[in-house]
Structures are given as C-alpha cells and as structure tokens.
Amino acid sequence: MSNIDWSKAPEGATHCSREGSAFHDFSNGGHRHWLCGEWVRHAYPFEAYDTPGELVARPWSGEGLPPVGAELEAGFACEDFAIWHKGVCVAVGEDPEGREEFCVVKFGNKIAMYRDEGRRMRPARTPEQIAAEERERGISQVLADFEYTVGPCTHKLARSQAERIYDAGYRKQEADK
C-alpha cells in the first residue's frame, strides 16, 4: 500500500485513491470528490468503488465513529460483545431526530449498527499485533504456571525466564485421559 499523506487531505475526506491523487468524502450517504481545491458532488455511491485496491479509507484511530470503508473489529450484542468479528463500515449517519450519530458495519452477510459508546468497535488489528497479543497471553500463562508451583513471581527475572521459555517453543499441554 502506498503511503498517503493524510495531512494534505481536505477536511471531511474519508478516502483517497491508492496513488494519493484524489480525495473523496462518502459521509452522510453522499459522495463528494475533491477537484481543483473544492468539493464537487457526484451521483455514484461508495459501492461504485467497491473493488479491492481502488480506494484507501482514512486510517481510523478508534476514537469516534469509523469512516466509511474502514476495516474494523466489533462485537455483537447477542454474544455480549465477547467475540471480535472483522467487518467494514458501510455507512455513517445520524438518527432522524438528530440525537446521535451511528455507523453501520457489514460482516459478510450480516450487518449491525453501532453508536460511539463503550469499546464495542476497534480498528482491525494487524497480524503483528495479533501475534504480539498471543505471545503476551502465552507468557502470562507461563508466569501463572510458575506461581502455581513456586508461589508469587514478581521479580523481573521470572518474567525474563517466562519469555525465554515461551520463545523456545514450550507450551502447556493437557495429558491424554
């Protein structure tokens, strides 16, 4: 992916062409294109660009609502928001009475609506972030096993040893019954 200088994007830009030559705004269900220093309205919607690699969504920090097209992870109320699912924000708007903003996220053939509350959505994690989280869980498990056998492990040496054990490939295994 090319490096797009989002600091040069006009206010309201939600997307940029992959090569960084054109900015777009798909907020509030419309489409505007930045042309010669001003926003120009277009009739075609975001879905007209819905081919891989055509547009890059503005990176979402996790603050506020995500921009249309942002890849994210979110939970479902029916699962008590305990499981994260990958999705794409397909719409951002406000309710008809103008009381609050919300976004609509598509997860395959499922859709869900989210308000900017709690921690029910987060930016999509990179493979490196996922691996780092798995490593941290594994090291915590080794430390917990240490504590089970030798007592509290608060010394830095215990953490260092747990990291070395985990990085060497040792994992707790359940015995066959």
Is the distance from CB of 69 to CB of 57 less than 8 angstroms? yes
pTM of the entire structure?
0.63
DSSP per residue over 154-174, as a string? -SHHHHHHHHHHHHTT----P
Domain spans of the chain, in order of start: 1-58, 66-124, 127-167
Alpha-carbon distance 75 to 88, whole Å?
A: 13
Q: Which residues of 154-174 are buried (b: 16+ CB within 10 A; e: fewer)?
A: eeeebbeebbebbeeeeeeee
Q: Which CATH architecture has domain 66-124?
A: Roll (2.30)
Express each pLDDT in 28-49 by its tens digit.
667 888 888 888 888 776 666 6
Extract the tokens encoding 74.
């979110």
Express each pLDDT in 92-133 by its tens digit.
888 888 788 889 999 999 999 998 776 789 999 888 999 999
For the beta carbon of residue 4, count every other beta carbon within 10 angstroms. Answer: 19
